[in-house]
Amino acid sequence: MHAMNANTFTAGAFHISDAKHTEDFIKGLKEAILNNQWMCGFPEKLLMFRINDDYVVSVFGNLTLIEVFQKKLQAQYPSAQLVVEEAF
């Protein structure tokens, strides 16, 4: 998370203990992030990736930072599937 402002850059990686719940987790996390009330500006973009069947990575914030994060993540994990791409 960005030290001064969470809407600039925030990322999280989650291990889902039972892969059959991954889709429900993705839907719930997406809804929770998009329904936040932002006090000082808005993040520009939300991305969520599924890696294998039991890991989810979410990232939101400034468009430039998100694009760099996406390139680095997909270079390290070529199997990462982009499952959510939303503008705020």
Instruction: List 59's β-bridge partners, or say none.
Output: 11, 47
pLDDT score, position 64: 95
Per-residue pLDDT of the chain (88 residues; tens, 9 = 90+): 555 666 889 999 999 999 999 999 999 999 999 998 887 778 999 999 999 999 999 999 999 999 999 999 999 999 999 999 999 8
pLDDT score, position 37: 83
DSSP line for 22-71: HHHHHHHHHHHHHT---SS---SEEEEEEETTTEEEEEEE-HHHHHHHHH
pLDDT score, position 77: 97
pLDDT in tens, 39-55: 777 899 999 999 999 99
pLDDT score, position 38: 80
pLDDT score, position 40: 75
